Amino acid sequence: MWPDNAKKNQAFLKDIIKAANQNRIKVGVYTNHYDWSEIMNNANIEIPYLWYWNTNGDGPQGETQKNFNDLVTFGKFEEISAKQFAKNVKVCGVYVNRSIFLGPKGQRSSTQKSVDSHPPLTNGAA
């Protein structure tokens, strides 16, 4: 859980980004517009990559479209990298999250693919 203090959350994230940049590491964030608003108070922090999530609940009935048409812009992300469109879907006896990924600079044609993914290390406000 994130602290209920957007200014401290922003400072923490900026420190991570600064340290990553000093080590030539590009960082990304896993969030959605609601969590970003709640945790970061809609801050315009420059972050190279966004992996956003949009689901309507667990299982196949909670899946959203396997594309990026539902993206609500927020923050100051340079590039959309991925979208989680399903969570806790049973595949071959294992529960997984499902995501779709873009290639470099948002190329969707031949590089757009759906994969089953593990949950990220941290979730948003939920």
The two three-digit tokens of residue 23, written as one number: 């080590």
pLDDT of residue 103: 72
Is 90 exceeded by the pLDDT of residue 50? yes
**What DSSP designation does 71 have?**
P
**Domain layout of the chain by residue ranges:** 6-58+75-117
pLDDT in tens, 51-102: 999 999 999 999 999 999 999 889 888 788 999 999 999 999 999 999 999 8
Give the tokens for residue 106: 């948002």
> Residue 125: is its pLDDT beyond 50?
no
- Strands 28-31 and 46-53 come out as parallel
Burial track 7-17 (b if 16+ CB lie within 10 A, e otherwise): eebbeebeeeb
79: nearest Cα among 111, 124, 123:
111
Residue 107 confidence class, pLDDT cut points 50, 70, 90:
low
Whole-prediction pTM value?
0.78
pLDDT beyond 50 at 111: no
pLDDT level of residue 110 (50, 70, 90 thresholds): very low
- 1-27 pLDDT tens trace: 899 999 999 999 999 999 999 999 989
The predicted model gives 38-59 an average pLDDT of 95
Rounded (5°) CA angle 33-38-40: 85
- Give the CA radius of gyration of the chain: 15
Strand stretches in 1-126, DSSP E: 28-31, 46-53, 76-91, 94-101, 113-117
